[in-house]
């Protein structure tokens, strides 16, 4: 057990590698996952209703229609968002070209007087200058509200004219517009409150979002778990592969195979702990986003957690293989990143499988990341689907990759020990006093 404990100390002494690969790389994946999870959480609108409002600008150029325009703005504010686009021709052209507002209503100079004259003489009513957005129907709907306001104002003005037998004047129009607003304000049914009925499927929608978020986060571990365990294992076991250290180990009474097994066991324990931490955070992220953890089936949690641990052990096996090559730290980091990115982009996690080129799928099936993601998909719990047999078959293939890496590492070790400069026994030299 002395070698086992020493290996753990060597692993924990690699603070920089742990900070980069275990902490920073995993946090980067969790950050990407958190962005997607918050989108899933925010997209659930089954229990909320917010009516879309048009952006409307009302520009007044009639000095006699201030009250009329003010009443129009108050009328539109109930169902529209009032925006300011300026009053100059340049401002209006810029607003129209940039589609800043869904509807721009311009009250031209003298409009109130011409409208009053038309009502008095029963002539043609003047037209407003309007600019309707070309990107949607909100502007057209808002224009209907403008027409409704003018219709109500005209009816009120004509009613007052009938009572007083006086001609309709701009002042009478302003008074009629204010009367329309006051009448609508006193009418509880003028602006009915819209309430959304409870959706019986709302809870299941959130549960489905929680399940999707967890499965997505678990599959994102395909890169950080492999890179972290590969680098830490390779560098830790390289510490025992230095020529002087190796000669001392060979001279010890303990069998070399037992020492290597203890080194590997310590690295495997480290990899299992890292994968379990990743698993725990993957479960916590949906809950932190307000999604119910109960939406994730228990078999999905357990099977996917086991897949993460097995995949981390394969990463340890690949690190063992690299360590048997006596590669330096620069080479180990390069191999880990290139191999990890290759596995990630061909695993089916980064891109939908139906969008991947056929050659990428073939390459992916020759790497452990593909089968790791397939094992999680087999137990993802969609519509209650849990295929334990397919999960076991995929993880068996993942473990075969680990066995292959170990066998290659042993072959590299035998080849290295057969080299004369490393296999020759070191002569004991006495230092002079």
Q: pLDDT by residue (tens digit) across 65-117?
A: 888 888 888 888 888 888 888 878 888 888 777 878 888 888 888 888 888 88
Kindly list the domain boundaries of the chain, sorted by start residue. 2-44+203-423, 55-186
DSSP 222: G
Portion of the chain with pLDDT greater than 90, in percent: 34
Phi, psi (degrees; rounded to nearest 5) at 165:
60, 25
Quick check: helix, strand or coil at residue 230? helix
223: burial class by Cβ within 10 Å (0-12, 13-18, 19+)?
buried
Distances (CA, A) of 390 to 216, 225, 226, 343, 379: 19, 22, 22, 21, 9
Quick check: helix, strand or coil at residue 173? helix
pLDDT of residue 325: 86
Who contacts 357 (Cβ-Cβ below 8 Å, separation ≥6)?
none
Highest mean pLDDT among 4-8, 272-276, 378-382, 417-421: 272-276
Task: Give the pairing of strands 129-132 and 103-107.
Answer: antiparallel
Span 309-313, mean pLDDT?
96
Q: Which two tokens stand for residue 312?
A: 């981390």
> How far is Cα 286 from Cα 284, in angstroms, rounded to an integer?
6
Which residue is associated with the tokens 């990407």? 32
pLDDT, mean over the chain: 84
CA dihedral over 277, 282, 285, 291, signed as positive or negative: negative
CA dihedral over 315, 219, 21, 363, signed as positive or negative: positive
pLDDT of residue 408: 93
- The model carries a pTM of 0.65
CA dihedral over 347, 350, 353, 359, signed as positive or negative: negative
| Cross-strand pairs, 107 | 60
Quick check: helix, strand or coil at residue 117? helix
Confidence class for position 200, pLDDT limits 50, 70, 90: low
> How far is Cα 335 from Cα 156, in angstroms, rounded to an integer?
82
Highest mean pLDDT among 141-145, 215-219, 418-422: 215-219
Q: What is the third-level CATH fold of 55-186?
A: abc type-2 transporter like fold (3.40.1710)
Q: Which of 64, 154, 54 is nearest to 104 (CA)?
A: 54
CA dihedral over 390, 395, 398, 404, signed as positive or negative: negative
Who contacts 228 (Cβ-Cβ below 8 Å, separation ≥6)?
18, 21, 22, 25, 26, 274, 315
Span 324-351, mean pLDDT?
90
Quick check: helix, strand or coil at residue 107? strand
- Torsion (CA) 404, 409, 412, 417 in degrees, nearest 10: -140
pLDDT of residue 48: 54
- Check whether 187 has a pLDDT greater than 70: no
């Amino acid at each position: 057990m002395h070698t086992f404990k020493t290996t753990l100390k060597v692993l924990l002494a690699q603070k920089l590698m742990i900070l980069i690969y275990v902490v920073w790389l995993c946090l980067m994946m969790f950050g990407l996952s958190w962005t997607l999870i918050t989108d899933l959480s925010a997209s659930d609108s089954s229990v909320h209703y917010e009516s879309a409002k048009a952006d409307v600008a009302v520009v007044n150029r009639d000095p006699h229609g201030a009250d009329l325009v003010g009443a129009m703005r108050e009328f539109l504010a109930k169902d529209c968002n009032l925006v300011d686009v300026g009053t100059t021709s340049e401002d209006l052209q810029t607003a129209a070209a940039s589609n800043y507002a869904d509807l721009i209503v311009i009250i031209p100079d003298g409009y109130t007087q011409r409208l009053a004259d038309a009502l008095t003489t029963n002539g043609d009513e003047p037209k407003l200058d309007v600019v309707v957005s070309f990107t949607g129907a909100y502007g057209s709907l808002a224009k209907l509200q403008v027409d409704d306001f003018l219709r109500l104002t005209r009816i009120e003005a004509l009613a007052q004219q009938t009572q007083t037998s006086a001609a309709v004047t701009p002042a009478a129009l302003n008074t009629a517009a204010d009367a329309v607003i006051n009448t609508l304000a006193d009418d509880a049914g003028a602006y009915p409150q819209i309430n959304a009925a409870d959706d019986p499927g709302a809870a299941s929608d959130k549960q489905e979002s929680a399940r999707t978020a967890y499965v997505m986060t678990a599959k994102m571990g395909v890169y950080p778990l492999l890179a972290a365990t590969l680098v830490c294992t390779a560098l830790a076991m390289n510490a025992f592969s230095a020529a002087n250290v190796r000669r001392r180990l060979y001279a010890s009474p303990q069998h070399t195979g037992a020492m290597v097994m203890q080194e590997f066991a310590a690295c495997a324990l480290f990899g299992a702990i890292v994968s379990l931490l990743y698993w725990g955070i993957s479960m916590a992220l949906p809950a932190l986003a307000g999604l119910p953890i109960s939406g994730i089936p228990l078999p999905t949690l357990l099977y996917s957690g086991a897949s993460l641990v097995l995949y981390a052990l394969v990463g340890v096996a690949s690190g063992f293989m690299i360590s048997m090559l006596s590669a330096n730290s620069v080479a180990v980091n390069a191999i880990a990143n290139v191999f990890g990115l290759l596995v990630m982009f061909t695993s089916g996690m980064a891109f939908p499988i139906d969008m991947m080129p056929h050659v990428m799928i073939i390459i992916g099936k020759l790497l452990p990341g593909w089968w790791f993601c397939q094992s999680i998909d087999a137990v993802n719990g969609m519509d209650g689907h849990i295929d334990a047999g397919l999960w076991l078959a995929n993880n068996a293939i993942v473990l075969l990759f680990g066995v292959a890496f170990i066998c290659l590492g042993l072959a590299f070790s035998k080849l290295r020990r057969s080299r004369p400069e490393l296999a020759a026994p070191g002569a004991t030299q006495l230092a002079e006093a």
